[in-house]
């Protein structure tokens, strides 16, 4: 007899649940909207960080076509285009961001950054000049330093670099830029010091290591400095040092360094082999 009672109870329960659902359609819709918004935010974060840049561009272009007035989607597209090294398109996208009524000074600095990457230095300078001087950020001063460098305004560049370093907890990149600025001016000892500081801040920064070797080579210091390097890096740096020696007509030293680079590299070092062969044949 128990089976007979179960059937009406189940039916009653189903109708009760149906009634509850009918009374809360609005709540359910709002819940799904919140979930969708959260999923979209998470997907946007993924696209801006770990996704392939061109896939991210396609995603933000699709999303922007459905939401043309959302500034966060405009920003996502602009950032993705810069990540994809599509700088001309990136400039246009950042200009679209800056036109939005909710745009900030940060967006203006990002537009200047895109302009520099696209080689539009004068426009980048004008863009930075349009931003209030009270907006003092690491990125703003780093870009100001780069523009001063391009104009050969060395005192301004040094001041901007120094200020930028004080506004970040990760100054290795800007120290490397400052060092390269000193290298181009012929201040090799100061460049070497700054590259050394950059390496102390970030021992994985191979560009700073290579630049430091260039600065030492320009001073005819034909030994590698002491800093962390693996075997491949050591071979590459010896190759750089060899080319510096050859450039200064220290040919014998250059040949010796090339042979050492070839012997040091864990694999066949084609670039060094070609350099040595050309040197010996000439």
Per-residue pLDDT tens digits of the chain, which is 282 residues long: 444 334 343 434 443 334 444 445 554 444 434 445 446 667 888 888 877 999 999 999 999 999 999 999 999 999 999 999 999 999 999 999 999 999 999 999 999 999 999 999 999 999 999 999 999 999 999 999 999 999 999 999 999 999 999 999 999 999 999 999 999 999 999 999 999 999 999 999 999 999 999 999 999 999 999 999 999 999 999 999 999 999 999 999 999 999 999 999 999 999 999 999 999 887
What is the pLDDT at residue 117?
A: 97
What is the pLDDT at residue 25?
A: 52
- CA dihedral for 125, 128, 129, 133, sign (positive or negative): negative
Per-residue pLDDT tens digits for 229-257 = 999 999 999 999 999 999 999 999 999 99
Residues 6+ positions from 51 with CB-CB distance below 8 Å: 59
The residue among 43, 108, 126, 114 whose CA lies nearest residue 79 is: 114
pTM beyond 0.85: the answer is: no
CATH architecture group of domain 36-103 = Alpha Horseshoe (1.25)
Tokens 């200047």 — which residue?
112
């Amino acid at each position: 007899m128990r089976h007979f009672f179960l059937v009406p109870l189940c039916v009653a329960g189903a109708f009760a649940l149906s009634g509850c659902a009918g009374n809360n359609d609005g709540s359910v819709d709002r819940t799904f909207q919140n979930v969708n918004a959260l999923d979209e935010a998470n997907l946007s974060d993924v696209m801006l960080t770990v996704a392939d840049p061109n896939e991210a561009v396609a995603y933000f272009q699709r999303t922007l076509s459905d939401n043309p007035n959302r500034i966060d989607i405009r920003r996502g597209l602009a950032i993705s285009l810069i990540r994809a090294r599509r700088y001309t398109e990136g400039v246009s996208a950042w200009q679209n961001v800056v036109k939005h009524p909710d745009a900030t000074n940060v967006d203006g600095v990002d537009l200047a950054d895109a302009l520099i990457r696209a080689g539009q230095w004068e426009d980048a300078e004008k863009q930075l000049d349009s931003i209030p001087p009270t907006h003092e950020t690491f990125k703003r001063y780093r870009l100001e330093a780069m523009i001063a460098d391009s104009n050969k305004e060395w005192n301004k560049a040094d001041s901007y670099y120094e200020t930028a370093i004080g506004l970040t907890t990760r100054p290795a990149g800007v120290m490397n830029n400052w060092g390269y600025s000193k290298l181009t001016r012929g201040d090799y000892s100061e460049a070497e010091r700054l590259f050394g500081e950059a390496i102390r801040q970030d021992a994985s920064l191979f560009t700073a290591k290579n630049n430091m070797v260039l600065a030492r080579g320009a001073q005819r210091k034909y030994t590698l400095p002491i800093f962390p390097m693996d075997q491949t890096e050591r071979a590459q740096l010896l190759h750089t040092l060899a080319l510096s020696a050859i450039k200064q007509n220290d040919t014998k030293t250059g040949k010796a360094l090339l042979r050492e680079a070839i012997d040091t590299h864990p694999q066949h070092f084609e670039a060094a082999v070609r350099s040595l062969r050309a040197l010996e044949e000439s």
